[in-house]
Amino acid sequence: DTGVSQDPRHKITKRGQNVTFRCDPISEHNRLYWYRQTLGQGPEFLTYFQNEAQLEKSRLLSDRFSAERPKGSFSTLEIQRTEQGDSAMYLCATQVRGQNTEAFFGQGTRLTVV
With H, G, I as helix, E, B as strand and everything else as coil, classify residue 41: coil
Q: Which residue type is seen at 30?
A: N
Of 113, 106, 112, 114, the C-alpha closest to 22 is: 106
Stretch that binds another protein, among 19-27, 61-69, 74-82, 89-97 (CB under 8 A): 89-97
Residues in the chain: 114
Q: Interface with another protein includes 103 (CB under 8 A)?
A: yes
How far is it, in rounded angstroms, from Cα 63 to Cα 23? 20
Stretch that binds another protein, among 17-25, 65-73, 77-85, 92-100 (CB under 8 A): 92-100
One symbol per residue from 34 to 73: x for binding another protein (CB under 8 A), - otherwise; what is it? -x----xxxxxx--x-x----xx-----------------
Question: Which residues are registered as beta bridge partners of 92?
Answer: 34
Binding site for another protein (CB under 8 A): 33, 35, 40-45, 48, 50, 55-56, 91, 95, 97-100, 102-108
